[in-house]
A and B are shown apart, each in its own frame.
Chain A
Amino acid sequence: MALAYTSFDELARLAQEAGTTISALVLADQARELETSQEALLARMEADLDVMAAAAEKGLDPGLRSASGLTGGAAARVAGAREQVCPGRFARHLAVALAVSECNAAMGKIVAAPTAGSCGILPGAVLPLLEDGTVTKDQAARALFTGGALGMVIANKASIAGAQGGCQAECGSASAMAAAVLTELWGGTPAQCAHAAAIALKCLLGLVCDPVAGLVEVPCVKRNASGVANALCAAQLALAGVESAIPCDQVIAAMDAVGQAMPCTLKETAKGGLAATKRGAELKKQLQGEQK
């Protein structure tokens, strides 16, 4: 029977009972749904990983700037920093998330995951593990099916659009997807994947979408870095056996309710939050002056 993608807890339970991973269930289901082979789907996901890697490379160019000039170069700074509060691979996760997001802002090619505004978080989670050989490309591509399945559940039961649910729906969803992917890649059980997703989404609940001048730049680029850090945190907790007191599906429902309660000024209209600050208004005015 085809999977409905309306409950992530149910997906985790089905995988747990079948003694397999969430991604294996989803991959088999999607092959049936799209009337193609699992190999073809994996090849397509690997091609998406290639696009993500190319975007990261472009975004790491220290000279890269967006058309507005608001963003660019942050990834290169983090990648080249000597002082490391976040040692080793952790800083690399942040740099890659920034890089892909800055590539997006500079009109580079990206994979929306789930949206363009949150496109740095999944690559930020996965690519560093590929770069240092911790996981193979095949493993990474497979695990992304777990993240994609969670994204489908969120899209079905809540929203992945900032205009509907605020940033929690975009970067929050991406961070939860990344947490589930990381947990599976690090050998976590399906139940732990669901806990990781729940923890990640909980920690970004209520995050508003308040882009300065309406552009996918400030604060979006930095929220991609914090989104991947949040995913790493959630995966680490879940792998250690920490459980979310609220099940994943109910956190998703809470996210939907919070999104509906959120005023329109905080849902991508650029009329509230950081967009409405003194500096935010100045930048908008400045950019509109250039446009005319």
Chain B
Amino acid sequence: MNIFDIIGPVMVGPSSSHTAGACRIGRVARSILNDQPVRAHISLCGSFAETGRGHGTDRALVAGLLGMDSDDARLPDALELAAAAGLEVTFDTRDLPGTHPNTAVVELEGKGGARCAVRASSVGGGNIRVDEVNGVKVSFTGAYNTLIILHTDEAGAIANVSGYIAGQGVNIATFACDRETKGGSSIMTVEIDGVLTEEQLDHLRALPAIHTVVQVKRI
């Protein structure tokens, strides 16, 4: 913690969790899509559903989808700006028992045909946690550059990935792995201190058992 965590952040009001955090969820979803979003369906859950409108949660999420930061003065006009930018947005509210009270599910479709579904929660003070990507459980904050690696659950897949990253001189800050079934599809979530180049990401993609590699840039 430093002095500007207390006198700061600079943000568009009214709520660090319901506005600034919601904007970061939008940003991280856009980053996971790794494409220009043209269609978005957003489900608001828990307190987001109950008090979202008064807190501008809907607008903040869309602002994030447009790539805005939580201190962007255009944030309140995000719905209009999205329409102008060719991003079609629909909303609903959903009951997701057992999830954090401030949760949103964002389903995106990109201009180049990419698709993704992201469930994330706003955990306080503008900080967020991504809980699920494309139906698979993950846990990362977006505070670091994060690799999301879909792969087949087989021996050596993790060692190959971590070995390659280490060989590039990049430190792994946190690592998590979860699989659907033994030998089935699996997902690694790797938070790194540095950043990987597109070339290095291609190298990871070419490793055995690896299907897709997305680098979510620090937000």
Chain A residues in the interface with B (C-beta under 8 A): 5, 26, 30, 33-34, 41, 44-45, 48, 51, 66-68, 103-117, 119, 122, 144-145, 147-149, 151-152, 155-156, 160-161, 163, 177, 213-217, 270, 287-288, 290-291
B: number of interface residues (CB 8 Å): 34
Assess the A217–B8 pair: CB atoms within 8 A. Answer: no
- Of B32-40, B52-60, B139-147, B153-161, the one with at least 4 CB within 8 A of chain A: B52-60
The interface residues of chain A lying within 8 Å CB-to-CB of B47 are 214
- Of B71-79, B81-89, B198-206, B208-216, the one with at least 4 CB within 8 A of chain A: B71-79
A78, chain B: closest CB distance, angstroms: 20
Chain B residues in the interface with A (C-beta under 8 A): 1-16, 19-20, 47, 50-56, 59, 71, 73, 75-76, 124-126
3 nearest interchain CB pairs?
A: A104-B13, A151-B6, A214-B51
A-B contact count (CB 8 A): 126
Assess the B53–A291 pair: CB atoms within 8 A. Answer: yes
A17, chain B: closest CB distance, angstroms: 22
Assess the B3–A149 pair: CB atoms within 8 A. Answer: yes
A sample of 27 cross-chain residue pairs with beta-carbon separation below 8 angstroms, ordered by A number, consists of A33-B2, A34-B2, A51-B10, A104-B13, A106-B14, A107-B19, A108-B12, A109-B11, A109-B12, A109-B13, A111-B7, A112-B8, A112-B9, A112-B10, A112-B126, A116-B11, A116-B19, A117-B14, A144-B7, A152-B2, A152-B3, A156-B1, A215-B14, A287-B53, A287-B54, A290-B53, A291-B52
> Which of B1, B11, B13 is most buried by chain A, counting CB atoms within 10 A of its CB?
B13
9 additional contacts, CB 8 Å, given A113-B7, A116-B13, A155-B1? A48-B8, A67-B53, A107-B19, A107-B56, A113-B8, A116-B20, A147-B7, A287-B53, A288-B50
The interface residues of chain A lying within 8 Å CB-to-CB of B10 are 48, 51, 109-112
Assess the B50–A214 pair: CB atoms within 8 A. Answer: yes
* Chain A residue with the shortest CB-CB distance to B16: A116
* Chain B residue with the shortest CB-CB distance to A115: B16
Give the CA-CA distance A111 to B126 in the complex, in Å.
Answer: 13
Give the CA-CA distance A107 to B53 in the complex, in Å.
Answer: 12
Assess the A119–B13 pair: CB atoms within 8 A. Answer: yes
